[in-house]
A and B are shown apart, each in its own frame.
Chain A
């Protein structure tokens, strides 16, 4: 029951990514919610909800890193997994500094991602 209660929040502006990730995670029995921008996600953010966040760095408007910073500011402890195609070392370090627990390069291995999510939840 606890497993089903947890939600994987997907924050990526590309519909194909949203769709494919959702589909993949659903097939592994994770509930998902998709957001296209950081603002959208932050607006609906509820600290009481269990789950984890999969986030891209390159997002329209507020970037993934800025979003992580915001989350930390409001005292969120939601586990964050960064999945991006823009992962240079500096960005990675920044992400880890802002509290990301994992940093995967796009395209990421599905099993690796699912393993990570399982571990986190």
Chain B
């Protein structure tokens, strides 16, 4: 209810309650009620159910412009239903609106229409409060109010708080069925007990709450079929107290009916809307699904499209799509290749733009046929492809391209390049034709049989064999065509072929009416496969080999004959055609052990078997053979085959090649067993190789004479031996023979010939060869010949060795012997004659004279002889006589007889017995010859040999010089040596004058007989030497008359010096002197050489030992520094004391200062001594041997090693039996040896944990002029087998050091003619011993 109405009402009720009479109040109330009713009525008017009232346009607040139109459309022409109808089609979103006359007035959207319709419905349902407000303004006048109150078709009443009617209008009273008056003052329950309970609670509620109640529907009283609208309004006093309720009842039956209708319509609309919404939703859903489907389809389409695209692009078939005008819409790459333009360029173009006019027309022709017929067409097109500029054939399928409606939009085409296929097809056709013609033309029968042996195909040649036309053969089987036996064999064979599935050959002998004799066919049968690969039958090709068979037979027979022939030849025959060796014959089994069958049965024939036997090292030989055969050349070669017994058999194979027009057609090889020859050759080669090895390796002068090829190999040493350079000697035998001494040549050649003739096992001769310098060398030559099978010498090799010195010595002896013989022969022998029977003896005067007697001074008798005979020689005489008498041995002995001077004299005694006719000895005649001189010479030689064999160096030279003087009875002898550089002068190394050693001297040899010695080797001047060499002053000084000199040479012949014997009187027997000198010159020469070598090594040793000393000092450095520091520190201390003393005047006079200085001096000397020893030890001084007391040497070493010994807590024990014993030594070197040994001992002791740290140095008394020093330690010891190797250079067990120490020590001791060795101690450790010569002067 509008607030102002309420205000008025409440004001009126207050006024009534306070002052105004009820009537007035009632009047007021009536007015109010009238306005109330009016307001209600106004609202209903707006909603008249007949629909004729137009809705006030001002109230239409639709933003949509469609709303008024709709309204008008609804009111003026179109029913709502109709409008709804219009929109029933879900497809229509927008609908044009037309007026009654059909004039278009606009359009309405579905959405706006729906909204407008919904608004209508809402407005219809809700009372429009705004409009009642507006209306209320117009209801001001009382009249209008009371009129309305009384006459209004609305029941109005007013009840107080006791629910008594205070007022009621006619309408209401009438409705209640009572008069106005009957209501007033009575309560509702009084008047209408039947419906009061339904009304009273509402009225009370209004009174209590003060809030109005509006009831839209309801029925009242008997008017149940009618509808009313109730409105209860509280009427309040001015203070707001509810004083009553104003009731308004309006029959709304009609309204309700309209409302009902409207509701129905609304419901209908609602349901329609719902339905439509549902439909819309469904449609939407459908749409959504469709969209989804579309999407999926789209995706699928895209995928398909992609697939299609890739298929299109990857296929080699040209695929294209053309529109109806023939323009290309789609072309794939293959297509564009055909066009020769890119896809992009091709699209949009038609064939005329892409192909020559003719082609284009043809293409378009087909396209139009496809389009017009609507059916696909497949054709072969020949198109010049731009791709390869060649005519290519395409198999093109063209089909119409339609849209959904089936309308043809264009032509789709797929073209496949079938050019190659076409070509192959053509070739196939051609081949087929060829095959047919081959089949027809060949003379070889060709046939095809099915699995049942029925002939399917036979060519004319086959038909000819069967002797009937092909047509008759086809369909028949072998049994029907051949005799049972033949047919059976054929079918059997066919079966085997079918089972194996492999091609096989068979020889068949067939008889046919076509030929007289049976003919042989070599039939190749193979399985014939159907198109599925299954065996469908047999294909056979037969080849008539009758002639070949016959030829083979003939060959075989011939071969057998040949075999017979060859069986007598010791060779194997192989025949080939030309490379495949298919025949073998000859002594196959005999030579190689394999029977001929094995050769023949080898899969590759005899040739294959041969190859299998081939020696692994000869596998390259067949290649040579093959190449020769290819060239058609006869050839021969050697190779090995392995025989069955595993032995290697050598063959000499001669291969003859038969050629035809230059091409090899046949080969025949004859293999001869040459094993024995080969082995002989091999042996020869082995021996040759051995000789070559000897020649190359040995230092000997080796020669190797290839007799056949007349060449000689002279080894380098051979050439060297005779003083030639390597290139100065060629390879001819004359190089040797021309140099052989003429006197020797024939003898040597004879010896060689004898060896060639097999008379000697070796060739061995001694002869002379002329050297480059013209001198002759004696050589010992020994060689052996190699012989061929016929024992002919084909080669000879050997070696020569220089025996000049030996020969010279021998010759000297021989010569001197001969000369003695002669000399002695010059004096006559003494004769004796003994008559055995009469015991009568005769001695010639010369006999007596030889013994020193005159003729009458002695009587000859056997007793006298025995008395003179040396007792020692008596048994010799008896034995010689017995042997002579009994055995006929010559009587020739050397005996001693006592001469007149009572001296035994040597005689050679010879005798011969004479016998009588009975053979009895009757007389004996003999001679004696004085051989004293010879014996003396022999003795002298022996003495010289003895002397030289035991002595070396200076003592040797000295003794030889002395002995020579004695033996040769020379007044002077000397041995001189040339200085290292130059041969101008000699320096004697031993000189003797008048039997005594004299000081050495030197002199120039120019213009002296010595000069001659150098040039001639020997110089012998019997007398008057000073006349010959007047400028040689020395000779004159000492009065020399005779001179014999000889040059001294080393092992390689170089001049070393001169040895000579000089006489003050003419020499009786120069040859004798010469001989003796010669004998000893070699010995002296080699001694000089040895000495020089020793000297050189001695220098080296000095150097090495010095280095060793320095190294030792280095090792001892720490100890020595300490040793030196001690006295220095003491001196410093004493100095300090001295200063202190000086600072105290009272002490200056005391002995303190004296003592201090004395001690300082002592320490200074101590330091000096250490430095002196040190310097001496490391000083490099030439080796000097001097007599030194051994004790001093040992002590010096101990001093030097003092620090080491002390620091290592060594218990040193010195057992020097005689410290003053003098030894002839280089004391520094011996100190070095001792120091080394002590140092080693300390190291050895240090190696083991042993409380017994002992070092004993012992000196033993001299034995044979040598003393022994022993250094014994308690160290780790040396294994027994290493005791000797420790002295080898570079042998060491120490972590540091070169391993030279002991090697140097041994060398030092050996230069002292001593020995150094090591022994193991019984308990532990090692003892090193060395010996030193004692000084002779003192001992």
Contacts of B1209 in A (CB 8 A): 60-61
B1129 within 8 A of A: yes
The 0/1 profile, CB within 8 Å of B marked 1, for residues 89-114 of chain A is 00000000000000000111111001
* A85 close to B1121 (CB less than 8 A): yes
Of the candidates A16, A17, A60, the one whose C-beta lies within 8 Å of that of B1207 is: A60
Contacts of A16 in B (CB 8 A): 1126-1127, 1130, 1159, 1162-1163, 1166
A69 within 8 A of B: no
Contacts of A27 in B (CB 8 A): 1136-1137, 1140-1141
The 0/1 profile, CB within 8 Å of B marked 1, for residues 20-51 of chain A is 11011001100000000000000000000000
* B1132 close to A110 (CB less than 8 A): yes
Measured in the bound complex, the distance between the Cα atoms of B559 and A34 in whole Å is 125
Measured in the bound complex, the distance between the Cα atoms of B44 and A74 in whole Å is 134
* B1141 close to A24 (CB less than 8 A): no
Contacts of B436 in A (CB 8 A): none
Contacts of A108 in B (CB 8 A): 1129, 1132
Of the candidates A13, A23, A61, the one whose C-beta lies within 8 Å of that of B1156 is: A23
Nearest CB of chain B from residue A38's CB, rounded to whole Å: 12
Contacts of B1134 in A (CB 8 A): 20, 23-24
* A17 close to B1140 (CB less than 8 A): no
The 0/1 profile, CB within 8 Å of A marked 1, for residues 345-363 of chain B is 0000000000000000000
Contacts of B1141 in A (CB 8 A): 27
* B1130 close to A20 (CB less than 8 A): yes
* B1118 close to A24 (CB less than 8 A): no
Measured in the bound complex, the distance between the Cα atoms of B1158 and A16 in whole Å is 12
The chain B residue sitting closest to A27, CB to CB, is B1140
Which of B1122, B1128, B1131, B1135 has the most CB atoms of chain A within a 10 A radius of its CB? B1122
A118 within 8 A of B: no
Contacts of B1131 in A (CB 8 A): 20, 107
* A24 close to B1122 (CB less than 8 A): no
Within 8 A of A (CB), among B1089-1126: 1118, 1121-1122, 1125-1126
Given A16-B1163, A58-B1122, A85-B1122; A24-B1136 close (CB under 8 Å): yes
B1206 within 8 A of A: yes
Of the candidates B1133, B1136, B1139, the one whose C-beta lies within 8 Å of that of A17 is: B1133
A86 within 8 A of B: yes
Within 8 A of A (CB), among B1136-1181: 1136-1137, 1139-1141, 1156, 1159, 1162-1163, 1166
The chain B residue sitting closest to A18, CB to CB, is B1130
Taking residues whose C-beta sits less than 8 angstroms from the other chain, chain A's interface range is: 20 to 34
Contacts of A14 in B (CB 8 A): 1126, 1130
Contacts of B1125 in A (CB 8 A): 85, 106-107
* A107 close to B1132 (CB less than 8 A): yes
Taking residues whose C-beta sits less than 8 angstroms from the other chain, chain B's interface range is: 20 to 34
Within 8 A of B (CB), among A61-97: 61, 83, 85-86
Which of A13, A23, A28, A61 has the most CB atoms of chain B within a 10 A radius of its CB? A23
Contacts of A21 in B (CB 8 A): 1133
Contacts of B1129 in A (CB 8 A): 17, 20, 83, 85, 106-108
Contacts of B1128 in A (CB 8 A): 106-107
Measured in the bound complex, the distance between the Cα atoms of B955 and A109 in whole Å is 62
* A24 close to B1159 (CB less than 8 A): no
The chain A residue sitting closest to B1141, CB to CB, is A27
Main SS class of interface, B? helix
Measured in the bound complex, the distance between the Cα atoms of B1133 and A16 in whole Å is 10
Nearest CB of chain A from residue B1206's CB, rounded to whole Å: 5
Contacts of B1118 in A (CB 8 A): 86
Measured in the bound complex, the distance between the Cα atoms of B821 and A68 in whole Å is 97
The chain B residue sitting closest to A111, CB to CB, is B1136
Given A27-B1141, A60-B1207, A106-B1125; A19-B1159 close (CB under 8 Å): yes
Nearest CB of chain B from residue A104's CB, rounded to whole Å: 10
Measured in the bound complex, the distance between the Cα atoms of B1137 and A28 in whole Å is 9
Given A58-B1122, A86-B1118; A110-B1133 close (CB under 8 Å): yes
Of the candidates A86, A109, A110, the one whose C-beta lies within 8 Å of that of B1122 is: A86
* B1122 close to A23 (CB less than 8 A): no
Nearest CB of chain A from residue B409's CB, rounded to whole Å: 108
Measured in the bound complex, the distance between the Cα atoms of B1141 and A86 in whole Å is 30
Nearest CB of chain B from residue A91's CB, rounded to whole Å: 12
Contacts of B1156 in A (CB 8 A): 23
* A23 close to B1207 (CB less than 8 A): no
* B1140 close to A24 (CB less than 8 A): yes
Nearest CB of chain B from residue A109's CB, rounded to whole Å: 8
Measured in the bound complex, the distance between the Cα atoms of B1015 and A28 in whole Å is 90
Contacts of B1126 in A (CB 8 A): 14, 16-17, 85, 106
Measured in the bound complex, the distance between the Cα atoms of B1166 and A106 in whole Å is 16
Contacts of B1139 in A (CB 8 A): 110
The chain A residue sitting closest to B1140, CB to CB, is A27
Measured in the bound complex, the distance between the Cα atoms of B1206 and A44 in whole Å is 22
Measured in the bound complex, the distance between the Cα atoms of B1134 and A68 in whole Å is 27
Measured in the bound complex, the distance between the Cα atoms of B1141 and A27 in whole Å is 8
Contacts of A86 in B (CB 8 A): 1118, 1122
* B1137 close to A58 (CB less than 8 A): no
* A13 close to B1130 (CB less than 8 A): no
The chain B residue sitting closest to A86, CB to CB, is B1122
Nearest CB of chain B from residue A56's CB, rounded to whole Å: 9
Measured in the bound complex, the distance between the Cα atoms of B500 and A105 in whole Å is 110
The chain B residue sitting closest to A109, CB to CB, is B1132
The chain B residue sitting closest to A57, CB to CB, is B1122
Measured in the bound complex, the distance between the Cα atoms of B1317 and A107 in whole Å is 43
Which of B1121, B1125, B1135, B1136 has the most CB atoms of chain A within a 10 A radius of its CB? B1136
Nearest CB of chain A from residue B437's CB, rounded to whole Å: 112
Which of A20, A83, A111 has the most CB atoms of chain B within a 10 A radius of its CB? A20
Measured in the bound complex, the distance between the Cα atoms of B1138 and A24 in whole Å is 9
Which of A13, A21, A60, A107 has the most CB atoms of chain B within a 10 A radius of its CB? A107
Measured in the bound complex, the distance between the Cα atoms of B1163 and A16 in whole Å is 8
Nearest CB of chain A from residue B159's CB, rounded to whole Å: 130
Which of A14, A21, A114 has the most CB atoms of chain B within a 10 A radius of its CB? A14
Contacts of A58 in B (CB 8 A): 1122, 1207
Measured in the bound complex, the distance between the Cα atoms of B898 and A121 in whole Å is 108
* A110 close to B1127 (CB less than 8 A): no
Measured in the bound complex, the distance between the Cα atoms of B771 and A15 in whole Å is 79
Measured in the bound complex, the distance between the Cα atoms of B485 and A116 in whole Å is 140
The 0/1 profile, CB within 8 Å of A marked 1, for residues 123-167 of chain B is 000000000000000000000000000000000000000000000
Contacts of B1136 in A (CB 8 A): 24, 27, 110-111, 114
Measured in the bound complex, the distance between the Cα atoms of B1166 and A49 in whole Å is 36
The chain B residue sitting closest to A114, CB to CB, is B1136
Nearest CB of chain B from residue A61's CB, rounded to whole Å: 5
9 residue pairs from A and B, CB less than 8 Å apart: A20-B1129, A24-B1140, A27-B1140, A58-B1122, A85-B1121, A85-B1129, A86-B1118, A106-B1125, A109-B1132
* 4 nearest A-B pairs in the assembled complex, by CB-CB distance: A110-B1136, A20-B1133, A85-B1125, A107-B1132
Given A23-B1156, A60-B1206, A109-B1132, 8 other A-B contacts at CB below 8 A?
A17-B1130, A20-B1131, A21-B1133, A23-B1134, A27-B1140, A27-B1141, A60-B1209, A108-B1129
